[in-house]
Amino acid sequence: MGAIAAILIAGAIIAFIIGGFLKYKGGRISKAPFVPTGQATDPSKADPKGTLSVEGNVECPQPLVSPASGTPCLYYELKVVGTWKQGDSTKSKDYVVEKVAAPFTLNDGSGAIPIDASQGGDFDLKKTFDETKSEGFFADLKNAVGTPEPIMFGNYAFANPPMSKANKFRCEERIVPLPPKAFVLGKLENGVITRAGMFGMILSEKGREELLGSSAKNAKMAFIGGAAAAGVGLILGVVSAVMG
């Protein structure tokens, strides 16, 4: 019973953190000046920190093709993590971490504003690839004699560096597809909207009003769920202590 109580309390803490983040996100969106795309290059339209938000049609002449799944996209993140056994524990290391964005603009009909999403942020990401592969003994021999073979994750060829300790690798790919419209909140720098603050840019195919509504609703649900889990967890903890 005590273990269940601990799990519920831990879940409540996580729920409160998620609720707090969603509430903060809604606050960011509501406080940032929301301006027509044709006026977004004017620094006077932003707040004192240079932050503003826009919404419009996505114009991307040269979309990216994601490296593993080969999916056309606006942005992708690729990560390869290697793991190996060391004694009784498992060690891990990030071998590849890529965040790549295609140049694009948003245009609500009043003029286009360039968007630089290359630094990442709070995006509507879709997982398009997740695979784990092991590298065997013969691969180590080929590496040692200078004839290595890459590990293929879909269309992506990963080369395990010489003298690497890892023998198992997990490749994950997430993308922002090519939406017809998008909402962006970021910092205006030299006529381009880019990353803003600790949590970065907000990029979503949802409109501003829909984002505000979903953030408020999901934050409320997280707080209610966290409070319920904390209450039950505390009761079970007390009962467990008394019974013990």
Distance between CA atoms of 62 and 66, rounded to whole angstroms? 13
Q: How far is CA 168 from CA 79, 83, 160, in A?
A: 14, 5, 10
Number of structural domains (the chain) is: 1
Q: What is the mean pLDDT of the chain?
A: 82
Mean pLDDT of 1-7: 59
pLDDT reported for residue 226: 57
pLDDT at residue 240 greater than cutoff 60: no
Q: Which amino acid is at 220?
A: K
Question: Which domain range does residue 184 map to?
Answer: 2-243
Contact 106, 57 (CB under 8 A): yes
* Structure-block tokens of residue 52: 């503003």
Contact 76, 175 (CB under 8 A): yes
Q: What is the pLDDT of residues 151-203, one digit of tens each?
A: 999 999 998 887 778 889 999 999 999 999 999 999 999 999 998 766 788 99
Contact 56, 141 (CB under 8 A): no
